[in-house]
Amino acid sequence: MSHSNRRWFLRLGAAFGAALTACKQKAVVEEIEPSSLGKPISAYGERSQYEQAKRLLMPAGLGKSPEIGSTRTPLQDTYGIITPSSLHFERHHAGVPQIDPATHKLLIHGMVERPLILTMADIHRLPSVSRIHFVECSGNGSTEWGEKNAPDAQRSHGMAACSEWTGVPLSILLAEVGVKPGASWLVAEGADACRMARSIPLKKANDDVLLAFGQNGEALRPEQGYPLRLIIPGWEGNTNVKWLRRIRLVVEPDMTKDETSKYTDLMPDGTARQFTFEVEAKSVITFPSGGQKLSGPGMYEITGLAWSGRGRVDRVEVSTDGGETWQTARIDEPRLRIAFSRFRLPWKWDGQPVTLQSRCTDETGYVQPTREALIAARGMNSNYHNNAIKIWKVSADGAVSNA
């Protein structure tokens, strides 16, 4: 154990010692009754009936188009940094296609020397890797621009999740097809009904992009792009095209529907930010957070999640006094690049109203901005790319709400 970790452990032990002693004094020895025979074994595991975490459904079009919409991850109900596949957020433009992997094919063509058509069996034969990365919708936090009406972390930040992805580096296939001189972009297209498509710079495609077929140790879920999707580490979620069926090498971006009508930021001067691919440093306290309630004054552990598309989270600071002072939180290991990081800070609540907030600094030195600073730079005409500091208010009765 390092000196810094030992000091933190000793401080934590002292802080919680009184609370633990009180608990021991109240302990009553009870005889434990033997349990009856349990549930028979099953072919596929299920969670306990007592666990109620679930995704929040956010349909679009007032129910007229149930295929269009999203779900949000209950960040406040998760542990560690890995999001269960069943709780990973979704965003669909035309519903979830049901695709037979035995018939699914990937076409790579355009400005290449040797066009390829690959079956899923072909793809599974290629060298693969497993990497832990987050995926975040560029609209995550959109409710925080204006009225700040998201009552909990799921509604305010739930369009982000982190998984272990398994797949083939795209660079392997690009080398196989032979990219022609002059090609500097590719257009990735999905097999959903709307043919969702995004243009991706060739430089990024040759860096760390995966053709993913696995998530958290099993095949992708249909909502996550089964049987094949792109994982573009650190870039906004909509570029991570699901149900991938075609990659076309081109000279310049295609200016597809979903990179012109959406995912751009209208600036105060009437111009628009486009191709703002990289997710900037962000964090959110998940306990205590909106919708929760503290049982009374005493010791608690503030915890939350931080992430950055620029690389590793270098530091997370927490303020319990409205941003007047900041304390450095402990970050759990492993601290991975372009992945969730779990932070923690011991905190003694005195029962008075307080506000809690966190700010993230990534390895490039970029510091998560305040909402006021972000609005001053970009205005409020965009639903996208809000990475402002999130503030929760704790009332005297322990109830936590959006500040």
Q: Which residue has the tokens 């083939």?
A: 168
12 pLDDT more than 80: no
Of the two residues 108 and 61, the one the predictor is more confident about is 108
* Mean pLDDT value of segment 114-143: 97
Q: What is the mean pLDDT of the chain?
A: 92
Q: What is the pLDDT of residue 28?
A: 57
Question: Among 90, 114, 38, which residue's Cα sits nearest to residue 196?
Answer: 90
Of the two residues 65 and 285, the one the predictor is more confident about is 285
The pTM is what? 0.91
Of the two residues 361 and 57, the one the predictor is more confident about is 361
Pairing state of beta strands 244-250 and 105-110? parallel
Q: What is the pLDDT of residues 218-276, one digit of tens each?
A: 999 999 999 999 999 999 999 999 999 999 999 999 999 989 988 999 998 989 999 99
For residue 374, give Cα distances in angstroms to 156, 235, 280, 367: 16, 19, 12, 12
CB 70 within 8 A of CB 136: no
- Listing DSSP states for 78-139 in one string gives --SSPPPGGGS-EEESS------TTT-EEEEEESBSS-EEEEHHHHHTS--EEEEEEEE-TT
CB 296 within 8 A of CB 351: yes
CATH of region 282-402: 2.60.40.650
Superfamily of domain 99-131+167-269 in CATH is Oxidoreductase, molybdopterin-binding domain (3.90.420.10)
C-alpha gyration radius of the chain: 23
* Mean pLDDT value of segment 327-352: 98
For residue 214, give Cα distances in angstroms to 150, 219, 229: 32, 4, 9
Six-digit token string for 361: 């600094």
Question: Among 329, 323, 327, which residue's Cα sits nearest to residue 304?
Answer: 329
The domain segmentation of the chain, as residue ranges, is 99-131+167-269, 282-402
Taking the C-alpha atoms of residue 370 and residue 359, their distance in angstroms, rounded to an integer, is: 9
Q: Which residues of 161-177 are buried (b: 16+ CB within 10 A; e: fewer)?
A: bbbebbbbbbeebbeeb
Taking the C-alpha atoms of residue 285 and residue 304, their distance in angstroms, rounded to an integer, is: 4
